[in-house]
Structure 1
Amino acid sequence: MSTEQEAGVRDWDFARGVASVVLMVGYGREHGVPVGRMLQGSGLTEKVLADPDAQIDAHTELAVIRNLVRELGGRPNLGLDVGRRYRITTFGIFGFACVSSPTLGEAIAFALRYLELSFTFCIPAARWRPGEFVARIHDERVPADVRRFLVERDVTAMHQMLCDLVGHRIELLRAEFDFSPPTDMDPWVEIYGMRPLFEQPHNLFTLDPAVLEKPLPQANEHTWAMCLAQCRDLVSRRRARTGIAAEVRERLVPRGGVDGFAAPPGIDTVARDLNMSTRTLRRHLDTAGTSYRQLLDEVRRALAEEMLTATPLSVSDVAIRLGYAEASTFIHAFKRWTGTTPSAYRRGAH
């Protein structure tokens, strides 16, 4: 029997901090690329990069990535070299939450749920099965001109983060990539502890699942709970949307807040309210990097968390108010969103 977990986002087009850009600009400078050329066309300045609280969109980081690849793309294993520089400290509160997680497995589950607090462009999906943990790395939506660089960078950064969490190098059981093999294989073997396969159908790596059950050296239940709360707050603030997504989201939130006893409108109703066809609305949302289902899940999750922590409503009553026909369906959805059940979430909050 296998267990699967998808990431909390389906695409790389999410807001992010500047730490990743700072790292790449520093790498470029070390290899003779002036800051001005690294930031060309991004709209960024050194003043913005000096602000640890600055937020940018993914396309801004992508512009810097393209500059790096243009300037240094001739270097062998460029993505590998850059990726190994991403450490737990690069990820701020997101990394700190992972460090304080009880086990490596729980840190991975958390990281997938809050992936939009990372800097990745490749979207991982995890599968636990007897004798093996498989991380499938989706790069289908990554622009082709920087795809190889980003697969190399992101997979190596993920592996480096895992190593930082346990305090030593983790050797992979398997690593497979869908591009041609590098001319120099030695750095790959040095980093991953094995020889990867290339020109494979998918990008993936596997671990011994026994590693996932071991307690992390800096696990701390109180710190973890505090970090989780901060990460939830950060995600909520970053998800402040504009344009068509904001208009749809507004129509999904009950006018009476948590007291508004009304199932959310379907996509056809929302489309009519916005004076467009359902097909056109779907297309606009896809262009904005989201979907009706994703926005509905965001609204339902926010309302569910509020009702579970701020009202005495039963789980069944919460399910009904969110438009679910059965409590079991709501419980399954809530566990997909948060990794825990509504009842456990309420106990933890209290």
Structure 2
Amino acid sequence: MERVQDPEVRDWNFPRGVASVALMVGYAAEHGVPVTRMLNGTGLTERQLRDPDAQIDAYTELAVIRNLVRALADRPALGIEIGRRYRITTFGIFGFACVSSPTLGEAIDFALRYLDLSFTFCLPVAQFREDEFIAVVHDESVPADVRQFLVERDVTAMHQVMSDLLGTRLPLTRAEFRFPAPGYVDRITEVTVVPPRFGMPDNLFAIEPVLLEQPLPQANEHTWAMCLAQCRELVHRRRARTGIAAEVRERLVPRGGEDGFAAPPGIDVVASDLNMSTRTLRRHLDAAGTGYRALLDEVRRTLAEEMLTATPLSVSDVAIRLGYAEASTFIFAFKRWTGNTPAAYRRERAARS
């Protein structure tokens, strides 16, 4: 039976740290490109690149990427070279959570749930099959002028990090790319080992599913739990967006009514409450990189995980408090968010506590 797991984020426009920018600026400096040229048009300073708590938006990193690609346009396989420099330590607490995960499969599950703690622009979707695990890497929304660079960078970085997790090179069974074969296929093959195929319908790489169950050499249950808590707090702060999205989120939190917990308001009601038309609200949310359904899912998932972990409420009671008319509808939604049923999620969390 095939299972598909989407990343938690819907697009690449999420806030991120500066480690990725610092890495690219450092690489460029090694090849004679001054820092000022790399940071041109970003508003960033060299000092900010040394601040581990600094946060930037995705468009700022995109501006640095464009500066890099323009400055080193004559270097073949630039995306491959950059991608190989992303290591576990580049990702901070996100990387430590991955490396201390019990298995590669659980590290992948965690990474998809908290993908907005990474630096990717190409969004991976996991396909779990009996005979093969496939990561389909979507680039459709990535700007065309840097699309191939970012596919090469992000796929190489994913392969590099997964290899770091295993403590050995990750063996691929397939590697496919949407773009035509470049003049440096040999450089890509150095990463994939298996001969890559080009001009294919999707960007993807695949591995034997048995690798997903392989214990990671640095797995540590206590460290993993600590890192998960820190990642949860960090992503909560980043997702607590300001502006219109925060106002909508506040109105979507279920509240008790005369007959118990009222269902969350529809988008028309939220728009009216904010003194604007539904069309205007949709436009504002789209400009903020989100939507009514995505925000409702965010609120419901956060509250569901909290109630399933911290309270003895039954699955049916949790469903009612989240505004679902039927427990079965909530179970289906929760499985779409996490890949697990609420009951299985609760058992796993109880086993780890």
In which range does the TM-score fall when normalised by the shorter chain? over 0.9
Corresponding position of 1:37:
37
Q: Classify the secondary structure of the residue corresponding to 2:261.
A: coil
Corresponding position of 1:24:
24
CA contact (8 A) 1:7 1:112 kept: yes
Deviation at 1:191, TM superposition (A): 1.2
1:176 is aligned with what amino acid? E
Deviation at 1:239, TM superposition (A): 0.9
Deviation at 1:298, TM superposition (A): 1.4
Matches within 5 A, 1:70-219: 70-219=70-219
Corresponding position of 1:328:
328
The 4+ residue runs of structure 1 with deviation greater than 6 A are: none
CA contact (8 A) 1:172 1:205 kept: yes
Cα distance in structure 2, aligned partners of 1:55 and 1:4: 31
Gap change, CA 1:256 and 1:49, over 3 Å in 2? farther
Corresponding position of 2:251:
251
1:220 is aligned with what amino acid? N
TM-score (norm 1): 0.94
CA contact (8 A) 1:309 1:349 kept: no
Gap change, CA 1:204 and 1:66, over 3 Å in 2? same
Gap change, CA 1:28 and 1:5, over 3 Å in 2? same
Deviation at 1:116, TM superposition (A): 0.5
Gap change, CA 1:208 and 1:56, over 3 Å in 2? same
Cα distance in structure 1, aligned partners of 2:190 and 2:15: 33
Deviation at 1:349, TM superposition (A): 7.8
Deviation at 1:243, TM superposition (A): 2.1
1:247-303 CA distance string (max 9 Å, x none): 21121124569x982211011211222233333322321221111111011111222
Deviation at 1:246, TM superposition (A): 1.5
Deviation at 1:346, TM superposition (A): 6.0
Corresponding position of 1:343:
346
Cα distance in structure 2, aligned partners of 1:279 and 1:181: 43
The range that moved more, 17-26 or 204-213, is 204-213
TM-score (norm 2): 0.93
Gap change, CA 1:255 and 1:320, over 3 Å in 2? closer
Deviation at 1:348, TM superposition (A): 5.4
Q: Classify the secondary structure of the residue corresponding to 2:270.
A: helix
Corresponding position of 2:3:
3
1:93 is aligned with what amino acid? I
1:347 is aligned with what amino acid? A
CA contact (8 A) 1:82 1:153 kept: yes
Cα distance in structure 1, aligned partners of 2:231 and 2:209: 26
1:131 is aligned with what amino acid? D
Deviation at 1:317, TM superposition (A): 1.4
Gap change, CA 1:344 and 1:337, over 3 Å in 2? farther
Q: Classify the secondary structure of the residue corresponding to 1:146.
A: helix
Q: Classify the secondary structure of the residue corresponding to 1:284.
A: helix
| Sequence identity percentage | 74
The range that moved more, 13-22 or 129-138, is 129-138
Deviation at 1:333, TM superposition (A): 2.7
Corresponding position of 1:12:
12
Deviation at 1:199, TM superposition (A): 1.4
1:319 is aligned with what amino acid? A
Gap change, CA 1:338 and 1:95, over 3 Å in 2? same
The range that moved more, 243-252 or 339-348, is 339-348
Deviation at 1:147, TM superposition (A): 0.7
Cα distance in structure 1, aligned partners of 2:27 and 2:221: 36
Corresponding position of 1:221:
221
1:3-53 CA distance string (max 9 Å, x none): 110001010000111110110000000000001101111111111111111
CA contact (8 A) 2:123 2:138 kept: yes
CA contact (8 A) 2:96 2:227 kept: yes
Q: Classify the secondary structure of the residue corresponding to 1:4.
A: strand
Corresponding position of 1:298:
298
Cα distance in structure 2, aligned partners of 1:107 and 1:349: 15
The range that moved more, 308-317 or 67-76, is 308-317
1:128 is aligned with what amino acid? F
CA contact (8 A) 2:123 2:137 kept: yes
Deviation at 1:86, TM superposition (A): 0.3
CA contact (8 A) 1:254 1:260 kept: no
Deviation at 1:311, TM superposition (A): 4.1
2:267 is aligned with what amino acid? I
Structure 2: unaligned runs, 5 residues or longer = none
Cα distance in structure 1, aligned partners of 2:303 and 2:352: 15
CA contact (8 A) 2:137 2:204 kept: yes
Deviation at 1:167, TM superposition (A): 0.7
2:60 aligned with 1:60, yes or no?
yes
CA contact (8 A) 2:5 2:339 kept: no
Gap change, CA 1:201 and 1:338, over 3 Å in 2? closer
Deviation at 1:85, TM superposition (A): 0.4
2:289 aligned with 1:289, yes or no?
yes
Corresponding position of 2:235:
235
CA contact (8 A) 2:176 2:204 kept: yes
